[in-house]
């Protein structure tokens, strides 16, 4: 430790006072922190910091972030996992929001594959321009790609946590592509952090990034690594990493099994609590060992269960955890849902757990002060080799590094692993050589060149073949490949050329006679979605090939259609796509739970004509995955779904649903681009050569697919999906899935039913909230009032939020009036806003034409839009009959081919959006959603063409579907 700041450290007094740890009135810095300040992190210098876990790297990042905010820069903190992003978001909120962001929650955004949301719970208009963004690597890449890479990012500070992810077999290419884009665009400051980089890798990576390198090998809290073998214990400490002691005695009567070793630690006079037992097999180790320890400890006399899971849906995992937590025992693995993991992590933070049995999910950068680690197993199944293979030393040490963190009262942490055979002893000895780490493997490879080329061209970073060659061949992987395998590297330009030719043949790219490359509309949609190019084409081909069958399944006002069949087919084609299944020798990027192949859950024969794979019996994964997805959105409980197949877990299912949502959203974006009539036929794949007839039908599907993605996210049936919108930021209560389903069972599915003050309605609400503590009545009252004021409150929040942002607008008063006026007054406000935004319009209803629609809008480079304004007082919503009046009116008054929009003020009845998609010529938009779009136009972050594309798609136009700003 150093108890002083280095000279010329660069930290402001506010940072020193608020963000530097002090001991006895003096700054207290780890060696890594002191070295980073000496190297210039506080002065804005870029660097790669490599030091063991528990050496204060996160604090180094926080200093850089705080300096960036004070300098008025945008700051991005990149992490490896969703859970870690959420943890860092909460941590930074507590230390930075008040003192450095002025308490402005809209200035701080979290972006993961699940959602993009600011600290006030709102969807940000320009997340890439906020002062502080915490994001996963892949989400930030997707956001940058969708917006176009700015030519100049020298006002942006980038912090990359766990930067060794660049060498990950599955995710490394995306991380390297992102770092390549950032390096070429420039940055104000770059700070990379890692605990497990080999020295040569660290030097090479720092040189490639053109940043300074800070390496600190010493830990503030030392670890003792112990390899227990039949010949005794071999041990080494991080304090004397070059000295391995051999033949140390194993405690009498303990042996080499993980549970007796654990009991020996627990029985010590001063046990190193909490203890983590790492397991590489979920079932055989985490559950079995936990149950064995529970049996040894015995149940409490009262038979008490933990109340921590009250309010969460029952699963097999939390049923066991409810028994274990009262005994200070926990489990943490991929079988758990996010909510269950949060409960376990909270118990760890509050020191309520003595032992946690965990897979490496708990080693992904999440900080808990463990006293000891026992590796119950340190090899995992390798499907390619068909054998168990020892984990690499980098992963081993990253897991071991969770032990002995700052704040742990013991002087030295212990890491124990067992090597029972000669072969294991040889491998295990490698873990004792603390300075030996595996080399980073290059992950940009020819097998993924098509996706890479499309990303680079669609983002605007590369515009010719030469630029592609230059950029790709100078990636970190390119330079490594040139060193290692000159012959293979020499083939890269030819393989890149083949990728360009293939994308051009699919009409995802076009090449001018002068050699300029440009992504087509569909090519950009695929690149921005993060889908593989083959996936995009696969989804388009399926949709066109089965278009008539799919359209017939849509509901209308006259007939219910068959949404169940439609949703099953849509899910099935997603799960059959190259994202999930092997396709033309390409490796999938997402994986389905392995138990899905065991039993046929669904007889798909009646759907044979419309299945993406007619020989469905040969691959049960998509068939079963789609069945479990449909059961989920129809309200099946997770515990019931788990029992569908042996060894299927809630965590597996939630992960599968999350991946499905990602693909569904990409599917909708790709079909929207495919159906856009403004795009010339020559720049669309051949399958779309049918022209307007195909486009009109395709246009009916995107919002149906987006709505399905929302249902999968929420796990709710169609008739109660609206209840997910009841939850608002800062509310006293939140409505959870099980409560919504309970109300549905009682027959309360519409807003006017749920808001009733009758005795029967109150009883239904109380039944739904039976588990609410201390009493359900308060929440029942909240729901009654929330339903009554639902749209009023939504409009009020939108007005307040938009007024804050409207300072740059010409007439701020119009923003307030847009939300408060009704009838003729509202029309006048609407016209004024259109005039200020430069949107050409013609009033069709001049009070002399009976039943004429209100307006004809002429957005730039887009067909005309017929717009009808429908406003009602109070909480009354626009019903189906009022929403569709514009269709007949447009035909009577000579605009039968124009797309129609009904602006619903304040809102539309939840039953309307689904049944209007089939007509193909109508969308509805609520005033709060349109207000967001119009404000973005005022801010310059939404074009008239983008506004047209958003409005002119059948269904409901939602603010969540608005594109982020495109940079030029």
From CA 955, how far away is CA 807, in angstroms rounded? Answer: 32
Q: Where are the alpha helices (DSSP H) in 48-167?
A: 57-70, 82-100, 137-147
CB environment 146-155: b (16+ within 10 A), e (fewer): bbbbbeebee
**Taking Cα atoms as reference points, which of 604, 633, 609 lies closest to residue 619?**
604
CB environment 62-79: b (16+ within 10 A), e (fewer): bbbbbbbbeeebbbbbbb
Q: Is residue 386 left, alpha or beta, with left meaning phi > 0 and alpha meaning psi from -120 to 50?
A: left
Contact 195, 52 (CB under 8 A): yes
- State pTM to two decimals: 0.88
Contact 815, 935 (CB under 8 A): yes
**Taking Cα atoms as reference points, which of 269, 329, 251 lies closest to residue 297?**
329
- Dmax over CA atoms of the chain, in Å, equals 101
Run of H or E residues at 668 = helix 650-674
Residue 773 CB: number of other CB atoms within 10 A? 10
User: Can you give the pLDDT at residue 365?
Assistant: 45
Contact 704, 913 (CB under 8 A): no
Q: In terms of residues, how long is the chain?
A: 968
Name, in order, each residue with C-beta under 8 angstroms of 745's C-beta and a sequence gap of 6 or more: none
Low-confidence residues in the chain, pLDDT < 70: 148, 282-284, 299-303, 361-367, 383-384, 405-411, 585, 874-875, 965-968
pLDDT in tens, 697-738: 999 999 999 999 999 999 999 999 999 988 877 777 889 999
Residue 13 CB: number of other CB atoms within 10 A? 7
Contact 855, 867 (CB under 8 A): yes
User: Alpha carbon of 109 to those of 141, 267, 798: distances in Å?
Assistant: 15, 46, 18
**Taking Cα atoms as reference points, which of 7, 65, 57, 13 lies closest to residue 31?**
57
Backbone phi, psi, residue 372, to 5°: -155, 155
Residue 810 CB: number of other CB atoms within 10 A? 13
User: Can you give the pLDDT at residue 299?
Assistant: 65
From CA 345, how far away is CA 364, in angstroms rounded? Answer: 13
From CA 374, how far away is CA 385, in angstroms rounded? Answer: 26
- Kindly tell me the sign of the dihedral angle through the C-alpha atoms of 803, 804, 806, 811: positive
Burial class (CB in 10 A: 0-12, 13-18, 19+), 384: exposed
Q: How far apart are the first and last CA of the chain?
A: 48
Residue for token pair 């319009």: 841
From CA 350, how far away is CA 101, in angstroms rounded? Answer: 28
DSSP letter, residue 441: P
**Taking Cα atoms as reference points, which of 852, 714, 928 lies closest to residue 115?**
714
Contact 656, 580 (CB under 8 A): no
From CA 672, how far away is CA 669, in angstroms rounded? Answer: 5
Contact 5, 16 (CB under 8 A): yes
Q: What residues does 27 pair with on adjacent strands?
A: 22
């Amino acid at each position: 430790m150093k108890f002083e700041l280095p000279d010329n450290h660069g930290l402001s007094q506010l940072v020193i006072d608020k963000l530097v740890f002090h001991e006895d009135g003096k700054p207290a810095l780890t060696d890594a922190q002191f070295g980073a300040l000496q190297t210039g992190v506080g002065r804005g210098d870029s660097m790669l910091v490599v030091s063991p876990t528990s050496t204060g790297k996160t604090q180094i990042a926080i200093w850089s972030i705080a300096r960036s905010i004070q300098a008025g820069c945008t700051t991005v903190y990149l992490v490896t996992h969703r859970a870690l992003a959420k943890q860092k978001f909460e941590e930074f909120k507590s230390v930075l929001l008040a003192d450095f962001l002025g308490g402005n929650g809209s200035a701080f955004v979290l972006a993961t594959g699940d959602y993009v949301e600011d600290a006030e719970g709102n969807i940000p208009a320009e997340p890439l321009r906020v002062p502080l963004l915490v994001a996963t690597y892949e989400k930030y890449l997707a956001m940058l790609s969708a917006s176009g890479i700015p030519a100049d990012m020298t006002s942006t500070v980038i912090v990359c946590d766990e930067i060794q992810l660049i060498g990950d077999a599955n995710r490394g290419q995306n991380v390297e592509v992102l770092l390549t884009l950032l390096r070429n665009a420039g940055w104000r400051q770059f700070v990379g952090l890692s605990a497990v980089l080999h020295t040569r890798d660290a030097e090479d990576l720092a040189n490639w990034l053109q940043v300074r390198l800070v390496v600190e090998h010493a830990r503030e809290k030392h670890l003792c690594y112990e390899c227990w073998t039949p010949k005794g214990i071999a041990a080494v400490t991080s304090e004397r990493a070059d000295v391995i002691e051999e033949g140390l005695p194993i405690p009498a009567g303990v042996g080499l099994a993980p549970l007796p070793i654990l009991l020996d630690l627990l029985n010590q006079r001063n046990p190193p609590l909490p203890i983590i037992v790492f397991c590489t097999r979920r079932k055989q180790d985490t559950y079995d060992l936990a149950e064995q320890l529970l049996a040894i400890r015995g149940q409490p006399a009262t038979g008490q269960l933990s109340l921590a899971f009250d309010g969460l849906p029952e699963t097999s995992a939390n049923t066991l955890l409810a028994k274990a937590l009262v005994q200070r025992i926990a489990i943490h693995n991929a079988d758990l849902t996010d909510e269950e993991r949060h409960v376990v992590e909270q118990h760890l933070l509050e020191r309520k757990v003595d032992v946690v049995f965990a897979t490496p999910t708990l080693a992904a950068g999440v900080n808990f002060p463990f006293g000891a680690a026992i590796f119950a197993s340190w090899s995992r199944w390798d499907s390619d080799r068909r054998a168990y293979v020892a984990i690499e030393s980098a992963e081993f040490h990253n897991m071991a590094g969770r032990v002995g963190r700052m704040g742990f009262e013991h002087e030295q942490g212990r890491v124990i692993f067992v090597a029972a055979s000669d072969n294991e002893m040889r491998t295990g000895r490698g873990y004792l050589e603390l300075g030996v780490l595996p080399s980073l493997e290059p992950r940009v490879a020819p097998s993924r060149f098509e996706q890479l080329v499309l990303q680079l061209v669609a983002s605007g970073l590369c515009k010719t073949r030469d630029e592609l060659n230059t950029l790709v061949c100078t990636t970190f992987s390119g330079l490594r490949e040139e060193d290692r395998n000159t012959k293979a590297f020499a083939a890269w330009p030819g393989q890149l050329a083949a990728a360009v030719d293939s994308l051009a043949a699919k009409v995802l790219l076009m090449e001018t006679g002068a050699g300029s490359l440009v992504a087509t509309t569909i090519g950009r949609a695929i690149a921005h979605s993060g889908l593989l190019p083959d996936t995009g084409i696969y989804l388009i081909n399926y949709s066109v090939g089965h278009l008539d069958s799919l359209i017939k399944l849509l509901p209308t006002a006259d007939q219910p259609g068959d949404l169940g069949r439609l949703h099953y087919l849509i899910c099935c084609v997603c799960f059959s796509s190259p994202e999930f299944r092997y396709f033309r020798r390409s490796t999938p990027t997402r994986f389905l739970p392995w138990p899905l192949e065991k039993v046929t859950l669904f007889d798909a024969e009646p759907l044979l004509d419309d299945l993406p794979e007619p020989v469905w019996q040969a691959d049960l994964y998509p068939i079963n995955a789609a069945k479990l997805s449909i059961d989920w959105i129809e309200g099946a409980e997770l515990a019931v779904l788990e029992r569908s197949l042996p060894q299927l877990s809630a965590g597996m299912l939630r992960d599968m649903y999350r991946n499905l949502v990602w693909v569904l959203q990409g599917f909708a974006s790709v079909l929207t681009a495919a159906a856009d009539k403004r795009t010339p036929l020559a720049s669309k794949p051949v399958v779309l050569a049918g022209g307007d007839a195909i486009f009109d039908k395709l246009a009916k599907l995107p919002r149906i697919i987006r709505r399905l993605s929302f249902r999968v996210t929420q796990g709710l049936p169609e008739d109660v999906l609206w209840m997910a919108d009841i939850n608002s930021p800062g509310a006293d209560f939140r409505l959870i899935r099980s409560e919504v389903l309970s109300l549905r069972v009682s027959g309360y599915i519409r807003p006017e039913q749920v808001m009733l003050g009758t005795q029967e309605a109150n009883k239904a609400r109380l039944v739904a909230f039976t588990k609410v503590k201390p009493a359900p009545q308060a929440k029942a009252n909240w729901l009654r009032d929330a339903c009554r004021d639902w749209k009023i409150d939504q409009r009020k929040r939108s007005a307040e939020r938009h007024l804050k942002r409207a300072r740059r607008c010409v007439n701020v008063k119009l923003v307030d009036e847009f939300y408060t006026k009704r009838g003729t007054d509202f029309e006048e406000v609407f016209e004024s806003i259109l005039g200020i935004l430069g949107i050409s319009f013609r009033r069709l209803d001049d009070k002399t034409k009976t039943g004429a629609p209100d307006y004809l809008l002429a957005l730039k480079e887009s067909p005309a839009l017929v717009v009808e304004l429908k406003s009602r007082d109070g909480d009354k919503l626009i019903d189906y009959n009022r929403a569709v009046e514009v269709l007949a009116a447009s035909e009577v008054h000579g605009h039968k081919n124009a797309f129609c929009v009904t602006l619903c003020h304040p809102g539309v009845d939840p039953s309307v959006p689904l049944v209007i998609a089939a007509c193909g010529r109508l969308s509805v938009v609520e005033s709060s959603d349109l207000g967001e779009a119009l404000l973005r136009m005022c801010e310059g972050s939404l074009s008239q063409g983008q506004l047209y594309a958003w409005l002119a798609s059948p269904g409901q136009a939602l603010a969540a579907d608005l594109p982020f700003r495109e940079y030029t």
